[in-house]
Every structure is written in C-alpha cells, then in structure tokens.
A and B are shown apart, each in its own frame.
Chain A
Amino acid sequence: MKEVQNIGKRMPYAESEDYLNRLISQATEQAISQGQKAKTRPLRTWIAAAAAALVLIAGLTITYFHTNNAEEQIAEQTTTGPIDQFLNNLTDDEAQQLAYYEIEDIPEYY
C-alpha cells in the first residue's frame, strides 16, 4: 500500500503539454466556428421556409385560376357548342328516335 501512496496522482499514461495545448486550442476554435454556423442556421431555415411558402402560394394561385378558366371554357363549350345547341332544340320524340336508331336509318350507311 505504501507503493500506491507513493504514486500519488500520477497516471500510467501521459500527454505532452504542447500536444494538449494544441488539442484544446483546436477543440476551442471548432466549437466557436460551430457556434457561428448554428447562429446563421435559423435565419437560413426561415428564409428557406418563407421561399417554400411563397412558391406554394404562387403554385396554388396559378392552379386555381388555370382550373377555373378551363372549367369556364368547358362550360361554354357544353352550352354554346353547335351539337349541344342542336340536341337542346330536339323534341322528346326526336331525341328518343335519335337514341333508338337503326343503322339503316342513317342515309350515308344505307
């Protein structure tokens, strides 16, 4: 036990003073640069999020107007197209006749 008391607080391995100073200095500078990066990170995240939101809003707006125009065009075509107008003007009998036609009824195929 006396031998143990003699070794005191010595460790079985040692690192040179220079080496440790360099290591600590590197770790310190690395921590500072990481800290600086972390500071700019939230700002970048906000900018990216705002840009994404703008793109989404713009996309939705364009899609909305585009879809509305297309629907209007279709609606216009269905109501104002010559075939629709012709069909709308048919009487019930004429429409029934048209629905239950025989191929021979069509002169071109006769």
Chain B
Amino acid sequence: METEIQQAELQDMLKDPSQREKGFRLLMKQYGETLYWHIRRIVVGHDDAEDVLQETCIKIFSSIDSFRGDGKLSTWMYSIATREALTLLRRQTHLFQSIDSLGSTLTNRLEAETPMDTNATEVLFQKALLTLPTQQRIAFNLRYYDEMSYDEIAHITGKNVNTLKVNYHFAQDKIKKYIKEHTA
C-alpha cells in the first residue's frame, strides 16, 4: 500500500495536466497488477479480466479530476475496478437473473482455465469461494487476499463495516463447511 508521500506526489502529478500522463503511467505501474488480480478473482476468466482492466484504466484516467483526495488513491481505483467487474458479470446474466446465480458458470470457467497439474486444494478453495454471494465473495477477497481494513472495504463496496464483519465470518464458515464436505 502507498505511503502518504507517494500518494501526495502521485496526486500532484495527476492534477497537473502537463504531468498527468506520466503520473498515470506510474500509478498503473504501481497498482496495475493488484488491480488485475482483484478483477480476475471476481470475473475468474482471463479474457474477461483483461477487458475489465482496460475499462478500469479508461475510467480511472478519464475521471481522475473527480478524485478529491479524501481517501486513498488505491481504494478509489479498487472501487472503479469492482464496479466494472460487476458490470461485466451483470452483462453475462440473462434477463431478471441475479449475478449470484453465475456461480456454476464461474466454476466451469475456473476449471477450464486451471492447468492440469494444479494443486487440488487450491482449486477446491476457489470453488468454495464461488459458492458465496458475489458481494460477500468480493468482501472476502479484499480482506483475505488484499488485506484491506474493513473501513477500506466499506469504502469500496459501499457496505456498512459491521455488516462486512458479519459477512466475512459467515463466508469463512461457509468455505470451511464446503471444504469439509468435499474432502471427506
């Protein structure tokens, strides 16, 4: 995560039209990979992750002026990436279908993109994650993989901190239960 000085420097560059492009390149160099993996964990498929990353970059660059600097740049970028990933998942649903019902589609995608020699437990863990409702899965990913605070997750997902805490524990229980059932 960025230090205050780095964020301040980046923000100054991004606000200055003559340095904006340079600042944006630095920003993406710093956060591009973590954003890619955050997106990939939501959409699962590599091609979809690539598309969402592209859209996210465009949104970040075009709306950089709207970043007020109250919070962290990384949190703001994660919010955009999350929204773009959810938009893509919504596009993959049928009429009146919830994105939570995409679990089996995403599981199939996971199996298709997993190399044959992959550790079975790694796949099982991901399958367990895909049984969670999408918002719960995103919150779990942000806490577990990106090690974000509940405040940051609340900022990204627009959920209440207490709700997130409860959801995280529910998610942990569900994952444990799924793994127990599938390793017997």
Count contacts on A: residues with CB < 8 A to the other chain.
23
Interface magnitude class on chain B: 35 or more
How many Å lie between the Cα of A3 and that of B123 in the bound state?
A: 12
Fill in one digit per residue for B155-184: 1 if any A CB lies within 8 Å of its CB, else 0.
Answer: 000000000000000000000100110010
Cα(A23)–Cα(B50), bound, Å: 8
Best-surrounded residue of B61, B124, B126 (most CB of chain A within 10 A): B61
| A10, CB-defined interface residue at 8 Å | yes
Inter-chain contacts of A9 with B (CB < 8 A): 144-145
B24 at the interface (CB under 8 A from A): yes
Most chain B beta carbons < 10 A, residue from A1, A23, A25, A27: A27
Q: How far is the CA of A11 from the CA of B42 in the complex (A)?
A: 13
Question: How many angstroms from the CA of A13 to the CA of B117 in the assembled complex?
Answer: 10
Q: Given that A4-B121, A12-B114 are contacting pairs, would A20 and B62 also be in contact in the complex, using a CB cutoff of 8 Å?
A: no
B53–A12 CB distance below 8 A? no
Within 8 Å by CB of A13, from B29, B61, B113, lies B113
Cβ A24 vs Cβ B36 within 8 A: yes
B interface footprint on A21-39 (CB within 8 Å = 1, 0 otherwise): 0011101101110110010
For B36, list chain A residues within 8 Å (CB).
Answer: 15, 20, 23-24
> Closest approach, in angstroms, between the C-beta of A48 and any C-beta of chain B?
22
A12 pairs with B119, CB closer than 8 A: yes
Q: Give Cα A20 to B125, complex, Å.
A: 24
User: A28–B144 Cα gap in the complex (Å)?
Assistant: 27
> Given the interface contacts A13-B113, A24-B33, A28-B32, does A4 sit within 8 Å of B125 by beta carbon?
yes
Q: Give the Cβ gap from B110 to chain A, nearest Cβ, in Å.
A: 7
Contacts of B124 in A (CB 8 A): 4
Q: Given A7-B125, A23-B53, is A32 in contact with B21 using a C-beta cutoff of 8 Å?
A: yes
Contacts of B3-62 to chain A: CB distance below 8 A: 21, 24-25, 28-29, 32-33, 36-37, 40-41, 46, 50, 53-54, 56-58, 60-62
15 contacts between A and B (CB under 8 A): A4-B121, A4-B125, A4-B179, A7-B121, A7-B125, A9-B144, A11-B40, A12-B115, A12-B119, A12-B126, A13-B114, A15-B36, A24-B32, A24-B33, A27-B54
